[in-house]
Amino acid sequence: MSVIIILLFASISVAALFLAAFIWSVKSGQYDDQMSPPMRMLLDDTTAKSSHT
Amino acid sequence: MQLEKFYYDNKTVKMFAYATMLWGIVGMLVGLLAAVQIYLPSANFGLPITTFGRIRPLHTNAVIFAFVGNGIFMGVYYSLQRLCKARMFNDSLSKIHFWGWQSIIVAAAVTLLAGYTTGKEYAELEWPVDIAITLIWVVFGINMFGTILKRRESHLYVAIWFFIATWVTVAMLHIVNSFEIPFSFLKSYSWYAGVQDALVQWWYGHNAVAFFLTTPYLGIMYYFLPKAANRPVYSYRLSIIHFWALIFIYIWAGPHHLLYTALPDWAQSLGVVFSIMLIAPSWGGMLNGLFTLRGAWDKVREDPILKFMVVAITCYGMATLEGPLLSLKSVNAISHFTDWTIAHVHVGALGWNGFLTFGILYWLIPKMFNTPLYSKRLATNHFWIGTIGIILYALPMYWAGFEQAMMWKQFTEDGTLKFQFLETVTHIIPLYVVRSIGGLLYLIGALVMIYNLIKTIKAGSFVANELVEAAPLPAKAETHGKQYWHRWIEARPIQMLVLSLVAVAIGGILELIPTFLIKSNIPTIASVKPYTPLELQGRDIYIREGCYTCHSQMVRPFRDEVARYGEYSKAGEFVYDHPFQWGSKRTGPDLARIGGKYPNSWHYNHMLEPQSMSPGSIMPSYPWLLDDPIDTAITPAKIRAMQTLGVPYPVGYDKIANKDLMQQAQKIAKSLATEKIETDSDKEIIALIAYLQRVGTDIKMMPQTASVNK
């Protein structure tokens, strides 16, 4: 059953990376603003002059 | 600040959208054929390429990787550009990604129909295709992360987090599960054997559901649902919490596919615990989606797009509540190997993935073609036809699964099994018929959509490059001055994330595999011996014909299974099985103890005409096995590959393997001759009989005193 070790290792590495990414995302201020991101994505910046080719 | 002008690339999105529609129809058609074959064996047409064992992998691969796969790319390419306020990183990469993925799909269809399969469910594609998938996935990754890096919006919207997690995890799963040793241009053996192979496979299989069918679609939901409803997501905080919880917990749940098998108990329990915990983050996503429509339910009444999305999200919630319940051991004892599982996955596939894809297509195509949808009414009709289709599909399969499991487990008062296996199959055939009607309705609905969208496309004019104006991202870290390398890393945290994952995962795998290879060479049951060359050839025919799609090889330690099939399966019996063939569904009976159960002639006649041996059987016939010769030229390469994997054939055995093969084949041909069946000894049927007569018999040779490793 030693393959479990590989799978645990791979799973833990990914989980650890996701944890690191989470900590980074919080510290870098990704989640400081809970209000404007969900509103902002509703706005389009498209202007009228688009190419039709 | 100076506004920058740039263009969004809609052309790639459009191509992925077309591919989604095309492969969706193909996948559903193939699925419908498979559903009909289950109750109408003549629909197998007696040809190798149209027989269920090859059709079923084609269906699953087409739906997952072609239909949903292109759906993912369509959604990502559209939403990522807008969320990042940037065109996709590189147009050439977009092209390579699109055409590369379509070529992979075509290659997959051709090789699967030709019988080139690894024999591992949802990972059936052979090694050259596996490599191509890896390369194209890297192209997708570079294009996606490149876009994220040159974004004009510093905040990463929650959908992007889902896309990142998808990319990272799918890469890892695909690489680990695809370790295989090629012995010819299109064939290979799985690197792992038996229990190990099963564990890796279901660790992959479960997370393929999690990270290919779920997380990317959640990301897409977080973009397209608020857009379609034109209101912000219910709780941004909840979306963040459930994202991180979901990806952290999902990766552990794989062993719940192997409950009551030879997998160690602690691993099974670990899988169950994490599966139960998954309810919370899964429902976080469902509730967040449904609550987004708070106060907007009047819109749902009017708008078919929102209707599709609401049912999709509800199906997601139902499937993710059912999944954890199915992973409870006592529920799993009933549901596993039955059609219950088929119902479960189709609530997810038809409801969640299918309906969300339809909703997005109805929203996206009119938008990109700058015209309203051709017919709202047709779209609403599609919604109802599809919904009835899902219900007619799922309910009969739940019923069939539960009823068949109950029949399997029934004993008479004398303590004997009440039902023959075949009786439990013929009993549920009406339900199979209703299921195929449900599938047909769903397909008709999809065709209605295609008609509606073609009309829309013809009426509109396509906006290939959409002009946008946005402010550039303010340059960060200017204060760092001349610390050049430091700034580089600081500006690229995501690249760091990816690079470190690749480094850690690949390094770790390479380091650990030799370790476990040596350990796995120790046979745990002394009487379990490697397959003879003829049996090995027969086993490869068994895999080629997809026998595992209907027959399990895993007797669970239950009274009824031991009474029906024989001694329950032990881990040590599978140490030479590259790949494992435990299966996941018993449309036919388990074959773990088939060896020696019937005479050779029975198998011969049964493969030619199953109904002649078991009247009422739904098994297809395999007449070509009686005519086609065994490919003996490849025997030495197969033996050498097995030796590399640690199967203890004597040194130099590859050179004399064919001699042994001929001898054993002639013996079987002779025994068939005594039963009035004349056949040449070089036919494939001989190899298959040799294998079937071997399966599960080694353990019977065991002396009473030998210790058995559970």
Q: Give mean pLDDT, residues B616-635.
A: 95
Q: Is there a domain that residue B416 lies in?
A: yes
Number of H helices, E strands in chain B: 29, 4
Determine contact: A43 vs chain B, CB below 8 A: no
Q: What is the model's pLDDT at position B490?
A: 46
Q: Give mean pLDDT, residues B210-231.
A: 95
Q: Domain containing B73 — which CATH number?
A: 1.20.210.10
- Listing DSSP states for B637-697 in one string gives HHHHHHHHTT--PPTTHHHHHHHHHHHHHHHHHHHHHHTT----TTBHHHHHHHHHHHTTT
**Nearest-neighbour CA in chain A from B111: distance (Å):** 29
| Cβ contacts from A onto B, under 8 A | 138
Same domain assignment for residues B171 and B120: yes
Shortest CB distance from A42 goes to which of B176, B232, B263? Answer: B232
Buried residues in B252-266 as b, exposed as e (16+ CB within 10 A): bbbbbbbbbbbbbee
Determine contact: A12 vs chain B, CB below 8 A: no
Q: Domain range holding B163?
A: 4-471
Q: Is there a domain that residue B624 lies in?
A: yes
Cβ of B236 within 8 Å of Cβ of A21? The answer is no
Mutate to test the interface with A, among B504, B574, B577 (most CBs of A within 10 A): B504
Query: How many residues belong to chain A?
Result: 53
Q: Give mean pLDDT, residues B257-269.
A: 85
Question: Alpha-carbon distance B663 to B657, whole Å?
Answer: 10
Same domain assignment for residues B432 and B555: no
Q: Is there a domain that residue B374 lies in?
A: yes
Shortest CB distance from B200 goes to which of A7, A24, A46? Answer: A7
Q: For residue B152, which phi and psi values (nearest 5 degrees)?
A: -105, 10
Name B667's Cβ contacts closer than 8 Å, sequence gap at least 6: none
> Is pLDDT at A6 greater than 80 in this prediction?
no
Q: Is there a domain that residue B586 lies in?
A: yes
Residue B515 or residue B273, greater confidence: B273
Same domain assignment for residues B516 and B553: no
Residue B250 or residue B351, greater confidence: B351
Same domain assignment for residues B250 and B375: yes
Same domain assignment for residues B49 and B142: yes
Tens digits of residue pLDDT in B390-439:
999 999 999 999 999 999 999 999 999 999 999 999 999 999 999 999 99
Q: Which residue of A has its CA nearest to B500?
A: A17
% pLDDT > 90, chain B: 79
> Is pLDDT at B705 greater than 60 in this prediction?
no
Same domain assignment for residues B10 and B111: yes
Q: What is the model's pLDDT at position A27?
A: 84
- This model of the complex carries an ipTM of 0.80
Tens digits of residue pLDDT in B439-483:
999 999 999 999 999 999 999 999 999 999 888 877 654 444 444
Same domain assignment for residues B506 and B426: no
Best CA proximity match to B167, nearest among B203, B143, B202? B143
Name B210's Cβ contacts closer than 8 Å, sequence gap at least 6: B169, B250, B251, B253
Tens digits of residue pLDDT in B496-506:
566 556 555 55
Cβ of B467 within 8 Å of Cβ of A47? The answer is yes
> Is pLDDT at B491 greater than 70 in this prediction?
no
Q: What is the model's pLDDT at position B538?
A: 97
> Is pLDDT at B551 greater than 90 in this prediction?
yes
Q: Which residue of A has its CA nearest to B519?
A: A2
pLDDT tier, B509 (very low <50, low <70, confident <90, very high otherwise): low
Question: Alpha-carbon distance B528 to B569, whole Å?
Answer: 13
Q: Give mean pLDDT, residues B599-626.
A: 95
Q: Is there a domain that residue B526 lies in?
A: no
pLDDT tier, B572 (very low <50, low <70, confident <90, very high otherwise): confident
Cβ of A10 within 8 Å of Cβ of B176? The answer is yes
- The DSSP H or E segment spanning B334 is helix B329-335
Mean pLDDT of chain B: 91
- Listing DSSP states for B236-281 in one string gives HHHHHHHHHHHHHHHTT-GGGGGTTSSS-HHHHHHHHHHHHHTHHH
Q: What is the model's pLDDT at position B483?
A: 47
- The DSSP H or E segment spanning B9 is strand B4-9
pLDDT tier, A50 (very low <50, low <70, confident <90, very high otherwise): low
The dihedral built from the CA positions of residue B369, B361, B173 and B116, taken in this order, carries a sign that is negative
Q: Is there a domain that residue B708 lies in?
A: no
**Residues of chain B neighbouring A48 (CB-CB closer than 8 A):** 467
Q: Is there a domain that residue B187 lies in?
A: yes
Same domain assignment for residues B511 and B587: no
Count how many domains chain B has: 3
Q: What is the model's pLDDT at position B476?
A: 54
**Residues of chain A neighbouring B231 (CB-CB closer than 8 A):** 42
Amino acid at B92: S
The least confident of A40-44, B183-187, B572-576, B608-612 is: A40-44
Q: Give mean pLDDT, residues B345-370.
A: 97
Determine contact: B477 vs chain A, CB below 8 A: no
Q: Give mean pLDDT, residues B278-282.
A: 94
Shortest CB distance from A17 goes to which of B155, B240, B497? Answer: B497
Question: Alpha-carbon distance B569 to B194, whole Å?
Answer: 11
- Listing DSSP states for B77-134 in one string gives HHHHHHHHTS--S-HHHHHHHHHHHHHHHHHHHHHHHTT---SSTT----HHHHHHHH
Same domain assignment for residues B484 and B369: no
Same domain assignment for residues B339 and B394: yes
A-proximal residues of B, 125-154, CB under 8 Å: 153
Q: For residue B656, which phi and psi values (nearest 5 degrees)?
A: -105, 5
Same domain assignment for residues B449 and B544: no
> Is pLDDT at B380 greater than 50 in this prediction?
yes
Same domain assignment for residues B692 and B665: yes
Tens digits of residue pLDDT in B193-212:
888 899 899 989 998 889 99
The dihedral built from the CA positions of residue B318, B321, B325 and B327, taken in this order, carries a sign that is positive
The crossing angle, in degrees rounded to 10, of helices B236-250 and B265-277 is 170
> Is pLDDT at B708 greater than 50 in this prediction?
no
Mutate to test the interface with B, among A45, A51, A52 (most CBs of B within 10 A): A45
pLDDT tier, B486 (very low <50, low <70, confident <90, very high otherwise): very low
> Is pLDDT at B521 greater than 60 in this prediction?
no
Shortest CB distance from A3 goes to which of B192, B230, B232? Answer: B192
Cβ of B467 within 8 Å of Cβ of A49? The answer is yes
Residue B363 or residue B699, greater confidence: B363
Q: What is the model's pLDDT at position B496?
A: 53
Q: What is the model's pLDDT at position A41?
A: 86
pLDDT tier, B587 (very low <50, low <70, confident <90, very high otherwise): very high
pLDDT tier, A45 (very low <50, low <70, confident <90, very high otherwise): low
The residue with tokens 């098994």 is: B619
Check: CB of residue B570 under 8 Å from CB of residue B585: no
Cβ of B233 within 8 Å of Cβ of A38? The answer is yes
Q: Domain containing B591 — which CATH number?
A: 1.10.760.10
Q: Is there a domain that residue B528 lies in?
A: no
Cβ of A51 within 8 Å of Cβ of B463? The answer is yes
Question: Alpha-carbon distance B703 to B710, whole Å?
Answer: 16
Burial of residue B614 (number of CB atoms within 10 Å: 0-12, 13-18, 19+)? middle
Q: What is the model's pLDDT at position B639?
A: 96
